[in-house]
Amino acid sequence: MRSSKGQWALALAVALIVIAEPAFAQGLPQLDSRTFTPQVVWLVIAFVALYLAMSKIALPRIGEVLAERQAKIDSLLKRAEGLKAEAEAVLMAYDKAIAKARTEAQDVVRKTSDSAAKTAADRHTELGTRLGDEIKAAEARVNDTKNKALATIAPAATDIALAVIERLAGEKIDAQALAPAIDATLKERRA
């Protein structure tokens, strides 16, 4: 393929030269051997000059700049990776802290609600006891008063009965003799 392209170009060149036949009569300048030496001499001079300029000045400079850039990119990438790892660590710590705080909060809530419930229950019991006591005391007082009142009924009834009998019958009766009858009547009424 390589040589076929060269051959194609050469054939085309030859064809064009044939077309420009009068020109060809003067000969191809490329084949004029008098131009060979000066061209080779100056080719060597120019090529060596370019080689020195490129290898001593231009290429090291470009290579340096490219290496510098690569180093910079590498260092920045490394730094970015470090920062990313750091950010991930921070995120992880944050998640951990959040989880811990949540657990703690739940703990506190549970404890508080437990203690509140306990206090409420305690107070409730206490209140119940106190109320029970007060009720009992009140009942005792009521009974006491009632008994006292009941106890005064019998003598009062005896006095009234004696006064009634004295007025009606005109005779005095011993209070002792009346007592059983009054007691019986009071018992009957109270029942």
Considering only residues 41 through 80, tell me which ones interact with other proteins, judged by CB under 8 A: 41-47, 49-51, 53-55, 57-59, 61-66, 68-69, 72
Q: Report d(CA 138, CA 90) in Å as an integer.
A: 70
Q: Report d(CA 91, CA 138) in Å as an integer.
A: 69
Q: Report d(CA 164, CA 172) in Å as an integer.
A: 10
Least spacing, CB of residue 75 vs other proteins, in Å: 12
Which amino acid is present at 162?
L
Q: Locate 130 and state its tokens.
A: 């106190």
By CB under 8 A, residue 19 contacts other proteins: yes
Looking at the Cβ atoms of 78 and 118, the one nearer to other proteins is: 78
By CB under 8 A, residue 18 contacts other proteins: no
CB 181 within 8 A of CB 173: no
Q: Report d(CA 120, CA 138) in Å as an integer.
A: 26
Least spacing, CB of residue 81 vs other proteins, in Å: 20
Looking at the Cβ atoms of 71 and 181, the one nearer to other proteins is: 71
Q: At what angle do helices 59-169 and 175-190 cross, to 10 degrees?
A: 140
Looking at the Cβ atoms of 46 and 89, the one nearer to other proteins is: 46
Least spacing, CB of residue 56 vs other proteins, in Å: 9
Q: Report d(CA 99, CA 106) in Å as an integer.
A: 11
Total residues contacting other proteins (rule CB under 8 A)?
53
Q: Which of 18, 28, 74, 81 binds other proteins (CB under 8 A)?
A: 28
Which residues of this protein are in contact with other proteins, per CB under 8 A? Answer: 2-3, 5-6, 9-10, 12-13, 16-17, 19-20, 22-24, 26, 28-32, 34-47, 49-51, 53-55, 57-59, 61-66, 68-69, 72
